[in-house]
Every structure is written in C-alpha cells, then in structure tokens.
C-alpha cells in the first residue's frame, strides 16, 4: 500500500523541543482516529525549525507533516485551518498538500529510540539489525555532538563522562525516553524510500524514528494532489 505525506503549512509561537507526545495529543483531539491502536504506523514527521534555548522557533519552511497510507490521507483534512495548543505554544495550520515521497541518498532522524540499548555500540548494532530487516545495505551512524572540538569518538574510553554523540531525553506518556540522532548516507533510491516509509524503532506517531532528507539534500517536491565510534556511560 503506497505511503504518502500530508503536509500542513505552519505558523505559531515557539514549541518546546520536547513536544512530540503533546503534539500528538493535540492532533488526536481534532482527529481521534489518530489515537486508535490500528494507526500505530502513522508517522509524525519532525518539524523543521530553528532550535534555541530549549525551544523550536518556527520558520517560513516549517510544516506539520504526517506519513500514512495514501487511502487514509483524507482523514487528516479536519486539521486544515485549525489552531492547536501544545503546552504554551499556539500553532496555526494552513491547508494541506499531499506529496509523494522522493528518494534522496542522505536521511537523518533527530530522535531514534533504541530500547534496551544503553551503550552507543549497542545502539549501532541494533541499528544495523534493523537496517538488515529493511534490506538496507547503507551503514547508519550516530551524529557527533555539535560544537565538540578536539575529541575523537573512536578514542573515547568506556568511562568517559561526556557523550560524543547527540542524544536527548523526551517525555512520552509519563515516561522519560532516551533517543539518539541518527544519519545515513549512500542510500539507493529503493532503500531511501523504504526507510522513509517504515522508519526505525517505536513511537513513530510521536515523531520518533522518522527519517527525513538531511539539509542540502531536500528534493524539490511536486504535489501529488494540487495546491562510528563507541561511547559507554560511566557505571
């Protein structure tokens, strides 16, 4: 069954960077269908914006987008021109546009949950198994920490107190969840589409494990319908 992306123009006040679960709840308040167990495969695409001070500031290119079965796309139409309240943020949605997914060789996800994996090498091994299940030969990597200088992740000791990779804590349904920033390059067109369609790990409707083109590789899209290192935390 083909997967499509429904994208809503988005304006509003800054969002907390930890907003995935609360945004899902706000959407489900307008479209209760989203909360049904059978819709676990619906994916919330991470919102693009400018992060600063714990908040995500929206830009002219920010969109609220979902990936789902093409036959279900019209179920999201009640979100058109609605206002959502996500904690202290107010989001104003415009009319949606439906897009076909386009393959690009480089994809990234800002928050992938690797359950039962504590160490970075375990995360990488788990990712490799997940990619093998998806028949993806390209190798995933953990994103190095931004602004980190002079440190070689490959030489980090088992008891290093500073993680050389980007990882974050998010709150989902009352639980604190750790997620890692993942990137992968050299994908074939078929691999790229599979990874965008299926994602990796749990929590896709909260924006976890959803992959999008990396900056600089975002394809110009035509609407479908009209308008590796190892880090071990200290014991």
Query: Quick one: what percent of the chain has pLDDT higher than 90?
Result: 74
Contacts of 132 (CB under 8 A, 6+ apart): none
Summarize the confidence of residues 119-144 as an average pLDDT. Answer: 95
Lowest mean pLDDT among 21-25, 80-84, 152-156: 152-156
DSSP string over 118-129: -SHHHHHHHHHH
Q: Classify residue 159 by burial, with Cβ atoms within 10 Å: 0-12, 13-18, 19+.
A: exposed
Residues 81-109 pLDDT 10s: 999 999 999 999 999 999 999 999 999 99
Residue-level pLDDT at 150:
43
Residues 56-71 pLDDT 10s: 999 999 999 999 999 9
Domains 3-100 and 107-213 share a fold: yes
pLDDT band at 227 (very low <50, low <70, confident <90, very high): very low
**Chain CA centroid to CA 181, Å:** 9
Summarize the confidence of residues 161-166 as an average pLDDT. Answer: 78
Question: Does the structure show a pLDDT above 90 at 219?
Answer: no
Rounded Cα gap, residues 17 and 44, in angstroms: 14
Terminal-to-terminal C-alpha distance of the chain: 46
Q: Where are the domains of the chain?
A: 3-100, 107-213
pLDDT band at 164 (very low <50, low <70, confident <90, very high): confident
Question: Does the structure show a pLDDT above 70 at 220?
Answer: no
Q: Under CATH, to which class is 3-100 assigned?
A: alpha beta
Q: Which of 137, 112, 96 is nearest to 211 (CA)?
A: 112
- CATH for 107-213? 3.30.70
Residue-level pLDDT at 145:
85
């Amino acid at each position: 069954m083909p997967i499509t992306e429904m994208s809503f123009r988005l304006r509003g006040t800054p969002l907390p960077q930890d907003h995935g679960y609360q945004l899902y709840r706000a959407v489900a308040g307008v479209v209760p269908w989203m909360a049904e167990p059978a819709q676990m495969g619906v994916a919330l695409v991470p919102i693009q914006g400018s992060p600063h001070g714990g908040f995500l500031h929206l830009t002219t290119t920010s969109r609220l987008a979902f990936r789902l079965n093409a036959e279900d796309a019209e179920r999201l139409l009640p979100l058109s021109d609605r206002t959502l309240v996500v904690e202290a943020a107010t989001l104003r949605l415009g009319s949606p546009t439906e897009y076909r997914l386009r393959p690009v060789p480089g994809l990234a996800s800002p928050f992938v949950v690797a359950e039962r994996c504590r160490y970075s090498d375990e995360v990488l091994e788990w990712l490799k198994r997940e990619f093998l299940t998806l028949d993806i030969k390209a190798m995933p990597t953990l994103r190095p920490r931004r602004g980190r200088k002079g440190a070689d992740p490959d030489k980090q000791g088992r008891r290093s107190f500073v993680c050389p990779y980007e990882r974050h804590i998010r709150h989902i349904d009352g639980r604190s969840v750790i997620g890692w920033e993942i990137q992968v390059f050299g994908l074939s067109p078929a691999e790229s589409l599979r990874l965008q369609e299926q994602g990796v790990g749990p929590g896709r409707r909260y924006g976890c494990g959803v992959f999008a083109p990396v900056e600089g590789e975002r394809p110009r899209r035509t609407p479908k319908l009209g308008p590796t290192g190892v880090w071990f935390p200290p014991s």
